[in-house]
Structure 1
Amino acid sequence: MNIAHPYEAAESGSRTLPPLNALLAFERAAAHLSFRRAARELSLTPSAISHQIRGLEAQFGAKLFVRGTRSVRLTLDGERYLEKVSVALTALRQASRELQRHDGGELWISSLPFFTSTVLLPALSDFRRRHPGLTLRIEATHSYADFNNSRVDVAIRYGREQAAGLKLEPLVAVTGLPVCAPALVKGGLRRPADLSDQILIHLTTQPASWPNWLKGAGVTVTPRGHLWLDSVPAMLEAAEHGLGVTLAMAPLIKARPGFGTRLVAPFDATGGRGETIYLVSRTEQVRNRRIAAVRRWIADAVARAR
């Protein structure tokens, strides 16, 4: 009878466990059925994702993907492996989050800057009254929250991109509404066609917003100029200073302090395609009490802002 030395047995077992980076690359590529999207989510190149997956296939002597010219799909072995890997990675992420917040007293929110200033901040005193033992950490950003590699618990997102493995709950439907300083209205801005005499203020991450709005409103204008800014609060502040006309999220814009005095809607016309703001969380945390409490608070805050 041959009995393996304990060290040899342990060494052999470790060789069957692939690198974590390779497992992450496989799980993301399988979730999206796209090496390119997996690469973007993990801040890698598509070739690096492909290399990691080929390493797994070489290690196990099994094909995990069928590669086409423009797409990939899982093999039967790949589907079976994904089922086990997803469970294992979910358990690792949950264990890591529990270690990071072992006292259970913090919850991290990633939120759009405009939503943060208009909806969340005015409602913070209500949150502290409801949940005095829970501390919120709010990151105001236009970037999509990285639920796989960050401490984010809940995100406020505009649209449904990158939703694999996440639960999206609609909070409010919004449409673009032109807003400006009252002085521009006094100067003759009365209808959409008058935008040809104005400077349009754009959000750099949404270059199609104004073109889509104008198309939806059925007007063709050549504006006097363009101003590009990197956040919605900066756009609204620029509009308040009379620097041009920008698009705001209706109906939430009406909850912004100063709306109706420092900032007005020159005409009640909407254009372009409406979008939805979602509350996003991990599917495995649907029944988490802390997240359920924050979900109720945010829904109430939106109702008040509307």
Structure 2
Amino acid sequence: MKHLPRVHLNGLRAVEAVGRCGSLSAAAEELGVSVGAVSQQVIKTEAQLGAAIFERTGRGIRPTTLGRQFIERLGIGFQTLDTAVAMTRHDTDSVLTISVAPVFASKWLVPRLTRYTRAHPETKLRLEAAIGLAHPDSTDIDLAIRVGEGNWPGVKVEHLLPQEVFPVCAPSIAKALETPEDVLTAPIIRDANSNIEWDVWLKPLGLDERDLAEGDTFTDAALCLDAAIAGQGVMLAWHTLAHDALRAGQLVAPFRERATTRFSYWLITSQNRPEPARVRDFKVWLRDEIAQMMAE
């Protein structure tokens, strides 16, 4: 390693981040420093190397021919270092950090975690409720659970559960719903931020979302569920959202028909570092809980 003393490690890290992220601003955000600091590190590193790694254009910064080869090797090197450090941390760390969407956490996961902690008292859970996906290789996230199409790049993705949707409502409203056509005359609870349209369930039955009645609109699925429990109308729900309320009799699903969306639940972990035993244990427990829910 006779060449490494020529440059500072922080400078190499800045160069690799800019090359991988594609811009100074994106690299600065990842590294948690200012754009000016990243720029200075890149300039200083190029001076120490005696070679231009980037060329500056009116549209930004891009690697030179030498820079592309250099950044590729740097990426391999930093990934190897990261994996080595992760091995020591994750082999001894007893904390399992899980990132989940807030609605999934509050309406399904958290009420079941007591069973997990009883089975695995040696593991301490740390739950992060977030919508955006935090990359497990650049954060302390051990495992993420997300709904989507499973096409997240640079991570290990495992299918957990397809997302099926179906109408739910309070028992008092269900009395007037004898056939799917009756939904058209019932007050409808809508989630303004949902990417699932009522037509996903209606179209296969020969019905049209445009014929639905008016109703209340909320910007959160959990609030929609609370409104449905309160008897304000019919909402389009899914298993992990409505299961506990259905089991408790707070809601009913008046029809047998289910509609599969293009989305599913996915388990997301690092594809670069070894998977700790506590992550494997949580996956097994989670799949068992999902199977139990579906059986019920």
Give the direction of change, closer, same or farther, for the CA distance of 1:267–1:300 in structure 2 (3 Å limit): same
Counterpart residue number, 2:116: 127
Choose which of 212, 220, 224 in structure 1 pairs with 2:214.
224
Counterpart residue number, 2:277: 289
Number of residue equivalences = 279
Q: TM-score, normalization: structure 1? A: 0.71
Within the alignment, does 1:115 sit opposite 2:110 as a pair? no
Q: Specify the SS of the correspondent of 1:285.
A: coil
Within the alignment, does 1:180 sit opposite 2:174 as a pair? no
Counterpart residue number, 1:4: none
* Unmatched tracts of structure 2, length 5 or more: none
Shift of 1:155: 0.6
Q: Deviations over 1:176-212 (max 9, x none)?
A: 11111112222446414633542232152x2443354
Give the direction of change, closer, same or farther, for the CA distance of 1:87–1:299 in structure 2 (3 Å limit): farther
Counterpart residue number, 2:127: 138
Task: Report matched runs for 1:51-130 at 5 Å.
Answer: 59=46, 60-62=51-53, 78=68, 81-89=71-79, 91-92=81-82, 95=85, 104-117=93-106, 119-130=108-119
Measured in 2, the distance between the counterparts of 1:189 and 1:142 equals 37
Choose which of 16, 36, 49 in structure 2 pairs with 1:23.
16
Q: Specify the SS of the correspondent of 1:256.
A: helix
Measured in 1, the distance between the counterparts of 2:269 and 2:206 equals 38
Amino acid at match of 1:268: R
Shift of 1:151: 2.1
Give the direction of change, closer, same or farther, for the CA distance of 1:19–1:293 in structure 2 (3 Å limit): same
Amino acid at match of 1:229: T
Counterpart residue number, 2:257: 269
Q: Deviations over 1:115-148 (max 9, x none)?
A: 3345433442332233221101122333323434
Contact 1:176-1:249 within 8 A present in 2 as well: yes
Measured in 2, the distance between the counterparts of 1:272 and 1:145 equals 27
Shift of 1:214: 3.9
Counterpart residue number, 1:210: 198
Q: Deviations over 1:211-262 (max 9, x none)?
A: 54444554222431341222x3322112111122222223x45641443621
Give the direction of change, closer, same or farther, for the CA distance of 1:249–1:83 in structure 2 (3 Å limit): farther
Amino acid at match of 1:143: G
The percentage of counterpart residues that share the same residue type is 24
Measured in 1, the distance between the counterparts of 2:270 and 2:217 equals 37
Give the direction of change, closer, same or farther, for the CA distance of 1:257–1:239 in structure 2 (3 Å limit): closer
Contact 1:112-1:156 within 8 A present in 2 as well: yes
Measured in 2, the distance between the counterparts of 1:267 and 1:209 equals 18
Measured in 2, the distance between the counterparts of 1:266 and 1:238 equals 17
Q: TM-score, normalization: structure 2? A: 0.73
Amino acid at match of 1:127: Y
Measured in 2, the distance between the counterparts of 1:281 and 1:289 equals 13
Measured in 2, the distance between the counterparts of 1:94 and 1:203 equals 45
* Unmatched tracts of structure 1, length 5 or more: 1-8, 30-34
Q: Specify the SS of the correspondent of 2:98.
A: strand
Two-structure CA RMSD over aligned residues (Å): 4.3
Amino acid at match of 1:24: A
